[in-house]
Structure 1
């Protein structure tokens, strides 16, 4: 292995590795059990190198959360852009993006962070702020009680899957849930 003086500096690549290994260790040990030294060791960088990118454990956890949230929001936006029906557009996109997580690569990372948010007020608040912002932005199209019910049902399906209760939702269940988002 080349020494730090001989290796080409690639800060973006190092940051990416730190985020990936940090997320994996969050899954294995929870946010509370995450150690900066363990992240540095598994990513193959010095603790000083990690601290250059993330000066605190909270900064690392926030960056992991931000990355997952940006990915989720991007998927929601993509689904919204493809949906020609205005009424319930955000809710349909939220439901589909949430249920897609169950079969996606990010489900384990999301699971660890969302379960940690129960005991980590800062993560819980960040999620609440994001969702509140989305609901305010989409108030004209997504404030009906049936839409709120559908979003909560999607959250419940996700939580049940996270806790190992039942199989992923069937196509019929998804369609029934999405049916709540259409004007009757």
Structure 2
């Protein structure tokens, strides 16, 4: 048993983040079934009671992990958009962040792929993306930009489903092609 959990100073935000990161890691390694209260608590080095202090139940933990991933994507989009402006800037940031996500070891694929079968997660993703599209309507309402975003989604989905088969173009070439399309729209 890990006794350091009882002796360490209280750092609720660090503990909460450790729990979220542990849940993401377990989902990556084992799928959503790998996210158990016991496994997440052990991975984060806290007691189950410590986990329940932050999350009422497993579903609350999964919801928080999904929100955590959306916050990370939001930070990436904001960072990329700070370096860009004008017509299509949100779509360019979306394309780049989608391609970056495919290259990261802990990209949350198990949780995001679960949106296909989980109506609640699908609704949350839909609301999140719809809110961003409303926010960036001045620069990204062009239907051709929607096609580019859908192509980026398709690239991500294909990478998840076909780990070794990336087609004839490298990811860098495909990303550059999609970015070029945003400037032509």
TM-score of the superposed pair, with normalisation by structure 2: 0.87
Equivalent residue for 2:15?
A: 14
- Tell me how many residue pairs correspond in the alignment: 181
CA distance in 2 between counterparts of 1:82 and 1:31 reads 35
Query: In structure 2, the residue corresponding to 1:37 is in which secondary structure?
Result: helix
- Equivalent residue, structure 1, for 2:40: 39
Cα RMSD after superposing both structures: 2.0
Mark the runs of 5 or more structure 1 residues left unpaired by the alignment: none
Greater fraction of residues in helix: 2
Does the Cα contact within 8 Å between 2:99 and 2:171 map onto a contact in 1? no
* Unpaired segments ≥5 residues, structure 2: none
| Residues 31, 112 of structure 1: 8 Å contact kept | yes
SS of match in other structure, 2:38:
helix
Alignment of 1:1-184 (within 5 A): 2=3, 6-84=7-85, 86-107=86-107, 109=108, 111-163=109-161, 164-167=163-166, 169-183=170-184
SS at match of 1:182: helix
With the length of structure 1 as denominator, give the TM-score of the two structures. Answer: 0.88
Greater than 6 Å deviation, 4+ residue runs: none
- 1:169 to 1:131, Cα distance in 2 relative to 1, 3 A: farther
1:70-99: per-residue Cα shift (whole Å, max 9, x none)?
A: 111111111112113x11111111001111
